[in-house]
Amino acid sequence: MKTFVDSPAVVVAGMPVGPFAMNQYLVGCTVTGTAAIIDAGASPDPFIAFAEARGLRIEAIFQTHAHIDHVAGLAATRARLAAPIHLHPADAPLYANCSAQGAMMGFPCPPPPPVDASLADGQVLALGNLRFEVLHTPGHAPGHVVLWERGQQLAFVGDLIFFDSIGRTDLPLCDGEQMERSLGKLAATLPDETRLFPGHMQATTMGRERSHNPFLKMMGLA
């Protein structure tokens, strides 16, 4: 487990999990001891151990989207934690179809438990003193969201944008035009200082991607 942020207000830790090296994160309010898992791709054990060592309680599971690499750990996670699963409803078809995704992608996914809470664009999720603004960013997946903590200048961006890259748009239910609009929305909303924690590869910042990301340049968003 790597610790990315450790301040008097917030802790962010994570590790790549599963066959696609999906970055699973834990984010916590260090003042109230309230924490959430972002994208339950695999066993919760290292995240629970990290939370216990830091005196944090995992009280929510926030899903950026419902691709198999991001949900394959939900059944195991809900078996250990009562934390509610949050997902945008537009990803319900992907969520319901995890075993077919698994067959297509070549790794098995136990059926995930029912979603507990729906995410919506513009919603603000409270986690202790932290406030995550939900940005609906479809394209890579219909119900893809970004979770932005404006005050702490950090965002969990799922598979929307990566270091020098962007998420795939060649999978079922992807939409390339929506993807371009969502990247435009991200670029128009997040300040340069915002640290981006993506679903794959290393963390980056909005400013770094604004000035270097070849896909944003190609789309005229750089």
How crowded is the C-beta side of 71, counted as CA atoms within 13 Å?
27
**Binding to Zn ion by residue 67, rule CB under 5 A?**
yes
Cβ proximity to Zn ion: between 11 and 47 the closer is 47
Q: What is the DSSP track for 28-97?
A: EETTTTEEEEE---S-SHHHHHHHHHTT-EEEEEE-S---HHHHTTHHHHHHH--PPEEE-GGGHHHHHT
Which of 39, 59, 149, 159 touches Zn ion by CB under 5 A? Answer: 159
- Residue where the block lists tokens 């899903």: 63
User: Which residue, 59 or 69, has its beta carbon nearer to Zn ion?
Assistant: 69
Applying CB under 5 A, which part among 90-98, 154-162, 176-184, 190-198 lies near Zn ion? 154-162
Binding residue (CB under 5 A) for Zn ion from 39, 59, 69, 209:
69
CB 14 within 8 A of CB 4: yes
Residue 125 carries which side chain, given as an amino acid letter? L
Residue sitting closest to Zn ion (CB)? 67
Q: How far is the CB of 71 from Zn ion (least distance, A)?
A: 10
Nearer to Zn ion, 8 or 106 (CB): 106
- State yes or no: residue 102 binds Zn ion (CB under 5 A): no
Q: How far apart are CA 215 and CA 73, in angstroms?
A: 31
Q: 69 or 149: whose CB is closer to Zn ion? A: 69
The yes or no reply on residue 199 touching Zn ion (CB under 5 A) is yes
Q: Which residue has the tokens 């067959």?
A: 103
Q: Nearer to Zn ion by C-beta: 24 or 30?
A: 24
Sign of CA dihedral 16, 18, 20, 26: negative
From the list 71-79, 103-111, 123-131, 194-202, the region that binds Zn ion by CB under 5 A is 194-202
Instruction: Tell me which residues touch Zn ion (CB under 5 A).
Output: 67, 69, 159, 199
